[in-house]
Structures are given as C-alpha cells and as structure tokens.
Amino acid sequence: MSKKVKKVKIDLTGTYEESMDEIDNSSITDEFKDHLRKEYHKIYDDIGQMISMEPPTGIPSWVKLT
C-alpha cells in the first residue's frame, strides 16, 4: 500500500510575521514546520548579511555597484 501524499501550498512571500503565521497555520507536521523556519531564517540571514556588507575599499561612494 502506498501512502497518499497531500500537497500543501505555503506562501512565504509576505512579511516575517505573515510567513511565520503561514507556517504555524499550515496542515503539516511540527517537524516540517521547524524545518521550514530554519530554512527561512538561513535564507534571510544570508540576505541580511549581503545587504549590510561593507563596500570594497578604494571605490568612491558615488559609484553604484550592480
């Protein structure tokens, strides 16, 4: 007998609070909720580090790095 897999859509594109509420209110296991929270924090911690990085030295502040 094979298990029937239920697909659950979880929208994590809102604010932090909205994303955490979405995870909390979804019909998935607590273990998977913990996994999603860890992955969410990993991704957004990495983005936060990139945003707060110091610009390379020797480049004038008026130069836009793209």
The pLDDT tens digits along the chain (66 residues) read 567 878 889 998 888 889 999 999 999 999 999 999 999 888 877 776 666 566 556 666 676 665
- Domain contains 37: yes
Query: Into how many domains does the chain fold?
Result: 1
Report if residue 56 sits inside a domain.
no
The predicted pLDDT at position 16 comes to 85
Structural domain for 39, as ranges: 16-51
In whole angstroms, what is the distance from residue 31 CA to residue 22 CA? 15
Please tell me the predicted confidence (pLDDT) of residue 32.
93
Determine the Cα angle at 53 with ends 50 and 58, to 5°: 130
Q: How far apart are CA 9 and CA 3, in angstroms?
A: 19
Element (H, E) at 17: helix 16-25
**What's residue 26's pLDDT?**
94
Tell me whether residue 7 is in a domain.
Answer: no
Residue at 66 is within a domain: no
